[in-house]
Amino acid sequence: MIRIATRSSALAIAQARQVAELLGGAELVEVSSDGEPGDKSRFVRGVERALLDGDAEIGVHSAKDLPAELPDGLAIAAVPARQDPADVWIGAGSSLDDAPEAARVGTASLRRRAQLLATRPDLRVAELHGNVETRLRKLAEGELDAIVLAAAGLRRLGREGEISFPIPAARMTPAAGQGALVLQTRAGGGAAAKAAAIGDGTALLELTAERAAVALLEATCATPIGVRARVDGERIEADAFVGLPDGSEWIRDRVEGEAERPGAVGALLAERLLSAGAKEILDRAEAWD
């Protein structure tokens, strides 16, 4: 039986089980994360180590956590059908404009912080870490007025009923890869074909464009950048946001091109952002205290 390497969080297990069902059955191999709390790439290391050591044949990752550079010997084998990539608001209010004045909003994401403050500078954004359950509990305990999370994670955990409203992409561009899963295998391994059989072509094209953009921008998981690509027939369009964490300065842009050339579309988006001053903004964001 195929073995799937996954982290042991509730969300990671739920995602791996969904992949196992698509494969017609698989054994889950739980691995631990390592590294510092602020280093999101730690989320993938244990899974990749299990693949390289031969303890599993397929690794399941949240695409937004997967670094642009992959370890030698590993490859992206497939991207299953994508869940909703939107960010959602949970808490007081029925829209971003309707949220209470000076509401306390929790998020650990500089990307979300930057876009919230760009559109609502009165909000008081608080650093909020932990898994989905921890964040929902802190909201329920009254520490915050609202939190912002990914719609996909809530739906995979069966917690979509918590959502107050989705935040429009025009005001909250999602993280590259948000809502998508990546199936990683050893390069040339026999499991690659099995993984590819449950892949979704549209999701792969979108993710390829998004990853191309963040790679050229030399972004990490912590960089305040949002990139969202959408395939529409034979065309693909991609939106991006780059901004300072306090919302005082930002750039938004959109490009489109041939769907069969997603990497080129992502590269064009990155080049336009760089021409508009994205590098300077990101350098300042990196030094943010």
Residue 289's pLDDT is what?
58
> Do 93 and 124 belong together in one domain?
yes
Residue 51 and residue 4: Cα distance in Å, rounded? 9
Where helices occur in 53-200 by DSSP H, the ranges are 110-119, 132-140, 151-156, 191-196
In a domain, 64, yes or no: yes
Residue 166's pLDDT is what?
97
> Do 124 and 264 belong together in one domain?
no
In a domain, 60, yes or no: yes
In a domain, 20, yes or no: yes
Residue 148 and residue 167: Cα distance in Å, rounded? 9
Where helices occur in 37-109 by DSSP H, the ranges are 42-52
Residue 40's pLDDT is what?
52
Indicate the pairing of strand 104-107 with strand 58-62.
unpaired
- For 140, residues 6+ apart whose C-beta sits below 8 A from its C-beta are none
**Terminal-residue alpha carbon distance, the chain:** 48
Residue 275's pLDDT is what?
97
In a domain, 237, yes or no: yes
CATH number of the structural domain spanning residue 40: 3.40.190.10
CATH number of the structural domain spanning residue 270: 3.30.160.40
Q: pLDDT below 70 — which residues of the chain? A: 33-43, 221, 289
The secondary element (H helix, E strand) that includes residue 281 is helix 278-286
Number of H helices, E strands in the chain: 9, 13
**Residue of 37, 43, 46, 165 whose CA lies nearest to 108:** 37
Range of the domain at 130: 87-166
Residue 189's pLDDT is what?
80
In a domain, 173, yes or no: no
